[in-house]
Amino acid sequence: MAKYELTFLLSEEAESKKIKELLESLTVKIAAEENWGQKTLAYPVKKNHAAYFYNWTLDVDKAKVTELKRRLNFHEKLLRYLLLTK
């Protein structure tokens, strides 16, 4: 398993539970979670002027990374995400 860092912005705070469920369905282990709170955006993203910021450290099989990215792209309340290797 490889370590990844997932930073993402949500339009609604309750949607973080759905992101966790998505990760659990792919057998991704969340090693650390950080909630950076709600912040005002520099410019509107999908007509939102504020968003909830999260930063999670994940343990993921390299074979499942493409599937994880594909599913994150289809999540409606997810404004932006960045997935990096650690």
* Helix or strand (DSSP H, E) at 66: helix 65-73
Q: Is 24 exposed, middle or buried (0-12, 13-18, 19+ CB in 10 A)?
A: exposed
**What is this structure's pTM?**
0.91
Q: Which residues pair with 56 in a beta bridge?
A: 6, 33
Domain boundaries, the chain: 2-85
Looking at residue 1, its pLDDT comes to: 87
pLDDT of 84 higher than 90 = yes
Q: What are phi and psi of 15, to 5 degrees?
A: -70, -15
- What CATH fold (topology level) applies to the domain 2-85? Alpha-Beta Plaits (3.30.70)
pLDDT digits (tens, 9 = 90+) for 14-70: 999 999 999 999 999 999 999 999 999 999 999 999 999 999 999 999 999 999 999
Provide the 3-class DSSP secondary structure of residue 41.
strand
